[in-house]
Structure 1
């Protein structure tokens, strides 16, 4: 079994209800070489007291409570700066990790070239507030290519691990990033990894992903026919689709000079997707550059937005 150190990055906010279950699942890991760094984002409940109790009991736990309110994206990415280790894992405050999560993810990354930026993520199962399983279908992890991650994210942050090379790429430009333009930290990490290294998927369900009323970001909903039709007619994913375009523009600003010519062209196509009204040419570019999404519902909504006049489209996206 590997002895490689894993830095676990956790951001908390009023997480008293499920936090102990999550931390206990760290303690029960078969891979014991880990150190947890927690940024609390201004909790007003018992979260800090719970963290303090565990930190007193286990020297592998460090609580950072003096930083200002950062928000979830900046909180997670700045936590990467707090410690240098071969591997890093993101953690929510309310899930439960399977005992072999760190062991299996570490083994996968150790089997890859250490100098290449890499991210590995796993499947997960859903549980409710009482730890009961939720029998629900989710989106099957799709392509792990750069073209795919420009349009959609299949990486759930609490299931992933990154190596030191990717961590260095992520923290280098942090001071110059407008986090309002980033959709989510896990998507951003996957996009960087796919552009400059590799993204790997393990089919093992290594996280019990908790679904409850206080979730900041939920797992994909069940994909029934009525659900899909409702999404189309209400343009339910318009903020997500536009968010991908906005994030692509930010990615071009931050990493554009390091991209290949074809990577820059793909990123530019996505970044400009909803910035003017040329629906046929924009759709043609998506097709020609293999940037259509694997999900026909998303593609259908994209085409509706492309056909919508800019003034009306902008009102939809506000």
Structure 2
């Protein structure tokens, strides 16, 4: 007797993605896990994206739906998708419009979550892919604990690698209906899941996604000297501070969902960031936030010392 494959709902935010969208859709169709549904939210495209989605839906008429996004940016588009999930969504994952999934992406993620009955999130490495010359390299492995203290200042759960199980999906929907704007839906999900003591399953093995790099990436992998310089200049301009402010505000709206320990850490973190100078650093030290690498943790403390975190 064959056991039915678990259902997977794929959420895809789309805006002017016609250049690469067909390749991503084909890679979804070619997945070894076949029990999937795709919900694509077109966020005001002015190119042929919507036509491409409609053509794809004709090949899978019962498995593809297309809706209109809120047109308030990529994160708001994904948050609206999360907020409108149906009760039978099953496992939920997130697709960018310009990546390519390797055939076992869904199979591997479902397998990772198969033994978890409480909220759980799987994620992992990806290939940073320069498709023009087909040059790719695997993103870094992660080894430090995946905790709320880590999530406060770093997102290690890239949305295009992420899948959440049904209990996590129900929790995420409830929280999305109450949360305000966030910088990135994947960072918000990492914060939420660590804040409720959900399982974080990071796959350090061979990646199963090609994360395409091009001039129109909303965020990008942030590798290379030029990208690192831009990121550091952004920190000095207050962009990182704004992102932390937004995360704290969004979590505060759903703080009743968090564990008592996470609520206390969040309050301490928020209060510490109101201090100045040495008092700020000492207060943050009591919170003990950290990043996955020592170098990146040092970078956070440097930013905090400058009042930019």
Q: Secondary structure at the match of 2:126?
A: strand
Which residue in the other structure is 2:124 paired with? 122
Structure-1 residue corresponding to 2:270:
271
- Residues 1:76 and 1:4: Cα distance change in structure 2 (over 3 Å): same
Equivalences for 1:68-217 in 2 at 5 Å? 68-80=70-82, 81-83=84-86, 84-112=88-116, 114=117, 116-130=118-132, 132-135=134-137, 138-141=139-142, 142-179=144-181, 182-196=182-196, 197-203=198-204, 204-217=206-219
User: C-alpha separation between the residues in 2 aligned to 1:272 and 1:140?
Assistant: 32
After TM superposition, the structure 1 stretch with the greater mean CA deviation from structure 2, 202-211 or 262-271, is 262-271
Counterpart in the other structure of 2:291: 293
Assess if the C-alpha contact under 8 Å between 1:123 and 1:159 holds in 2: yes
Residue in 2 aligned with 1:257? Answer: 256
Quote how far apart the aligned CAs of 1:241 are.
Answer: 3.5
- Contact 1:129–1:210 (8 Å) recurs in 2: yes
Distance in 2 (CA, whole Å) between partners of 1:237 and 1:295 is: 18
Query: What is the CA distance between 1:248 and its match in structure 2?
Result: 4.1
> Structure 1: where are the runs of 5+ without partners?
none
- What's the CA shift for 1:245? 2.7
SS of the aligned residue for 2:93 comes to strand
Match of 1:284 in 2: 282
> How many residues end up aligned between the 2 structures?
300
CA gap of 1:275–1:305, structure 2 versus 1, over 3 A, is farther
* Partner Cα distance (1:258, 1:178) in 2: 15
Contact 1:121 1:202 (8 Å CA) reproduced = yes
Structure 2: distance between partners of 1:237 and 1:126? 23
SS in 1 for 2:253: helix
Q: Deviations over 1:124-164 (max 9, x none)?
A: 102224360234x7444353111101110011101010112
C-alpha RMSD of the superposition: 2.6
Q: Deviations over 1:87-124 (max 9, x none)?
A: 00100000000100000100111122x2x111100211
C-alpha deviation, 1:214, in angstroms: 0.9
What secondary structure, in the 3-state scheme, does the structure 1 residue paired with 2:128 have? strand
**In structure 2, C-alpha distance between the alignment counterparts of 1:110 and 1:282, rounded to whole Å:** 43
Judge conservation of contact 1:245–1:273 (CA < 8 Å) in 2: no
Q: Report if aligned partners of 1:274, 1:305 keep a CA contact under 8 Å in 2.
A: no
